[in-house]
């Protein structure tokens, strides 16, 4: 498997692409993509969008349909993964990718697909708003996209469909980015010594420390 060269960033940029997936389940090794959406942002404003359902050539479990409301009938005439992925990659180009929990979820599915189709992984730099939310909003008990949007008073109508999640996430990223700048914590660039992911501040029995943002998959730590 080719090595993913994209860097995980922690900064506020004005030009980027937000993306989101809906899938048949949570395992990038066993499950399949059933929707891909992305929006292009220029100067902090949405300028274009890409969205397609994907025919996974398998049954969509009822548990997945209850969350994303995508059924077998909806994807029956949808393009296969190869066509959908080609359109997605053309759309994002070299843009910095923004998404919520993309480091541990969406990028796993994307890289699995591009490895299968092209023998390589996506090399775009990326920004994970889950990591930013944990950094900027430590008082929240949970940092799901819905929680972050609710905190900022952003509409969550249509959540768990990929395009609506992109729109919601873009608004959250703009709010989080401004908080980063105000707090002076933008792009500290503390990298996990074990896996290379970005590290975030955590609290333990003996005080604060840096912990890997990919926890529990990676348990890398570093002293402040």
Number of domains observed in the structure of the chain? 2
Residue 169 forms part of a structural domain:
yes
Can you tell me the distance from the alpha carbon of 139 to that of 141, in angstroms, rounded to the nearest whole number?
A: 6
**Cβ distance 59 to 38 under 8 Å?**
no
Residue 137 forms part of a structural domain:
yes
* Same structural domain, 136 and 223: no
154: domain CATH number is 3.30.420.10
* Same structural domain, 115 and 206: no
Please tell me which residue in 44, 69, 100, 160 is annotated as part of the active site: 160
For residue range 59-110, list pLDDT tens digits in order.
Answer: 999 999 999 999 999 999 999 999 999 999 999 999 999 999 998 999 999 9
* Same structural domain, 69 and 162: yes
For residue range 11-60, list pLDDT tens digits in order.
Answer: 899 999 999 999 999 999 999 999 999 999 999 999 999 999 999 999 99
Q: Indicate if 69 belongs to the active site.
A: no
Domain coverage including residue 178 = 8-188
Can you tell me the distance from the alpha carbon of 95 to that of 19, in angstroms, rounded to the nearest whole number?
A: 11
Residue 3 forms part of a structural domain:
no
Backbone angles phi, psi at 195, to 5 degrees: -125, -10
């Amino acid at each position: 498997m080719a090595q993913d060269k994209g860097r995980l960033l922690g900064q506020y940029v004005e030009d980027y692409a937000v993306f989101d997936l809906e899938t048949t389940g949570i395992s990038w090794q066993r499950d399949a993509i059933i929707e891909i959406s992305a929006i292009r942002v220029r100067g902090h404003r949405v300028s274009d969008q890409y969205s397609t359902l994907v025919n996974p050539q398998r049954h969509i479990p009822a548990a997945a349909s209850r969350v994303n409301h995508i059924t077998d009938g909806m994807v029956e005439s949808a393009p296969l993964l190869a066509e959908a992925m080609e359109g997605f990659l053309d759309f994002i180009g070299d843009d910095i990718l923004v998404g919520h929990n993309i480091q541990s979820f969406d990028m796993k599915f994307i890289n699995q697909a591009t490895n299968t189709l092209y023998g390589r992984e996506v090399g775009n730099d990326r920004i994970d708003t889950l990591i930013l939310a944990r950094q900027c909003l430590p008082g929240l008990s949970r940092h799901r996209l819905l929680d972050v949007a609710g905190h900022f008073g952003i509409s969550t109508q249509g959540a768990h469909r990929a395009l609506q999640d992109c729109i919601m996430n873009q608004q959250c990223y703009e709010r989080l980015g401004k908080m980063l700048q105000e707090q002076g914590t933008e792009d500290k660039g503390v990298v996990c010594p074990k896996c290379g992911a970005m590290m975030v501040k955590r609290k333990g029995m003996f005080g604060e420390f840096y912990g890997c943002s990919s926890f529990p998959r990676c348990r890398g730590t570093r002293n402040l």
